[in-house]
Homo-oligomer: A and B are copies of this chain.
Amino acid sequence: MSRKEFRDLAPPERARETIDSLDLGGGVERVPLREARGRVLAERVDAGIDVPGFDRASMDGYAVRARDTFGADEADTAVLDLVGAVHAGAEPDVVVEEGTAAEISTGAVMPEGADAVVMVERTDETDAGVEIRTSLAPGDHVMFAGADVAAGERALGPGTRLTPREIGLLSALGVSEVPVRDRPRVGIVSTGDELVRPGGELQSEQGQIYDVNSYTIATAVEDAGGEAELYPHVGDDYEEMGRVMVEAAEECDLVLSSGSTSASAVDVIYRVIEERGELLLHGVAVKPGKPMLIGTLEESAYVGLPGYPVSALTIFRTFVAPAVRRAAGLPEPRTATVEARMADRERYEGGRKRLMPVGLVESGPSPDVGEADGDEAGTDKPVTLAYPVDKGSGATTSLVEADGIVEVDADTAYLDAGEPVSVRLFSPDVRPPTVFGVGEDDPALSALLDRVEHPRYLGIGSRQGLRRLGRGTPDFAVVTGSIDRDVEAVDLGGWTREWGLVVPEGNPDGVEGLADLVERDLRFVNRTTDSGLRTTLSNALASVAEERGSTRHKLVESIDGFDLAVRAHESPARKVVAGRADAGLGLRTTAERLGLGFVSLGEERVSVLGNPDRIEKGGMERLREAIDEWSFEDETLPGYRR
């Protein structure tokens, strides 16, 4: 069987309709009231009993016949014989005949014959009996049976979500088990030879990676009110994979798989669907999501999601989650979508509808966007800004760098800065960060951010960080090295860190400085050009070159691995640990943490630069406080000082 091509991509609306046409369950189950929180009532519940179930005294006092008090007042009291007492939670053992009264406490059952309660404050107990200083009407201070809820009344309708108050009403009615909508059962089949479940041992040299989609989608299924079942990962045994898919279909209302890079796995899926079900749609004109499959398998629904995590979550959230919610009887949560404005102009080369992952950031009290529409410009209301996150759909980090999706129509040429957009959040619990920074990757910064609630920080390097600060999207940038770029910013403070060469434990090659890299046959590992630390290294090399009457370029050429650049602060040190380099550009703190040797080459200043338009926002105030309060002694950060 040859691999299918997606020649005719279905319009996204048809994908929605096709999924909506599938049966995702919708049965009824009975659950104990105590476990019914968040569930959705499947049937109407009418009151089966009166609440209260008896005529109930609503005051402490005396139960009487109202008729016996007619005309009584302070001057002319009615005196009744005291014939007994009735307490809450006890059956009255007294009858109130004409001319008599019984003591009664709040909540107690009205004794036979009595039709009103006189408050204790309007009475005196005397030798003659109970003296009553007021006239009563029948029903005074009595809550009649059924006055709260009467048997036969409609209590809660079908489709009602059970929150504490509904649980309370059902308790009052004595209901201990409630008929609720079944949670659609969603089976998740993991395909892909190279996937390993988190916690399993990874054979990186064999190209294995951890399975991201299974847990992500399972969690998203639960967010949507479904019940997720993970099926065992079967690796490259295709017969077994087919068997697992059929098993999942037999046990679940919906089976999900997510794309595999392996052609054979895709072929197996096709074969299973065609033999045991029906393929209703393959390929949708959205980006990402082209390779989406929709069909049936045995008696169940089947959807094949794309393989890349952000794409898989995007397609799930856009097409599948609404159907799961509907089957569960749950409305789309009000927090599932937020209104935002584009932080910057974004061009789009159309063709297919685009589901664009975006990050969110709140502007300060005085936003400088929103000019496209007069509504909020110039007001003090903070505006939520959306900026595209496009690291390539293969990146799992996009999952946490983006907050949701903006749908961009195929015929949209661009979205302007300030243009209003609706952002469908990846989960109703997603909140925009309180503060959003970009720039140099730094272990002290990592610890500092722990002191700020819900920050977002992208370690894209000093150079990219400054560039983005210049464009005004982030709240702050963290930079080091002497980067030549003029950006308007507020200095929020900073610290100094010791940098140099990270070498194997004990410095077996006896490295003493940069000269060794230039002169000797040592394998070096550098940082990428966006890193401010690399700029610091380059500046130091320029000084060495000057001393020697050479050029920096010549020195660089003689360093083996100067262009072998890795991304994060710890990455060169890891290469040293792995024995794949003799020296790496890094920090003293990293070397000490990993038990490596360190050759100090100097100190560099790390500065936190604030976006002037965002200085007033709450998260930024908290960040400033954290920088000011912070003492490096709290942390194990050798080589750092204020």
Contacts and interface: CB of A to CB of B under 8 A. Distances in A.
Interface of A: 33-34, 37-38, 44, 46, 49-54, 56, 58, 88-91, 105-109, 138, 143-177, 192-194, 196-200, 202-220, 222-223, 230, 236, 261-262, 309, 313, 331, 333-335, 391, 394-397, 399-400, 402, 426-427, 429-431, 441, 443, 445-447, 449-450, 452-455, 457, 459, 563, 566-571, 573-574, 590
B109 A206 contact: yes
B88 A151 contact: no
Q: Which of A148, A171, A430, A446 has the most CB of B within 10 A?
A: A171
A107 B194 contact: yes
Contacts of A454: 157, 159-160
B236 A167 contact: no
B217 A198 contact: no
Contact of A53 (B170, B202, B217, B218): B202
Contacts of A38: 429
Contacts of A391: 148
Nearest to A563: B138
A176 to B, nearest CB: 3
16 contacts: A44-B446, A53-B208, A105-B261, A107-B207, A150-B566, A150-B568, A152-B573, A152-B574, A157-B452, A164-B220, A165-B430, A168-B399, A170-B198, A171-B214, A174-B199, A175-B198
Contacts of A170: 198, 215
Contacts of A443: 152
Q: Is the interface of A mostly helix, strand, loop or mixed?
A: loop
A567 B176 CA distance: 25
B216 A158 contact: no
Nearest to A37: B219
A109 B193 CA distance: 13
B199 A176 contact: yes
B163 A109 contact: no
Contact of A149 (B34, B91, B161, B396): B396
Given A175-B198, A198-B33, A199-B176, A207 B163 contact: no
Q: Which 7 A-B pairs have the closest CB atoms?
A: A152-B570, A176-B199, A150-B568, A53-B204, A89-B194, A168-B216, A89-B193
Contacts of A52: 204, 209
A106 to B, nearest CB: 5
Contacts of A205: 54, 91, 109
B89 A161 contact: no
A429 B335 contact: no
B164 A216 contact: yes
Given A152-B569, A218-B34, A236-B89, A163 B223 contact: yes
Nearest to A333: B335
A391 B51 CA distance: 14
Contact of A571 (B152, B156, B192, B457): B152
A212 B168 contact: yes
Given A164-B426, A173-B198, 5 more contacts: A34-B218, A89-B262, A107-B209, A144-B567, A170-B215
Contacts of A196: 174
A309 B169 CA distance: 9
A333 B429 CA distance: 8
B165 A397 contact: no
Contacts of A574: 50, 146, 150-152
A44 B448 CA distance: 11
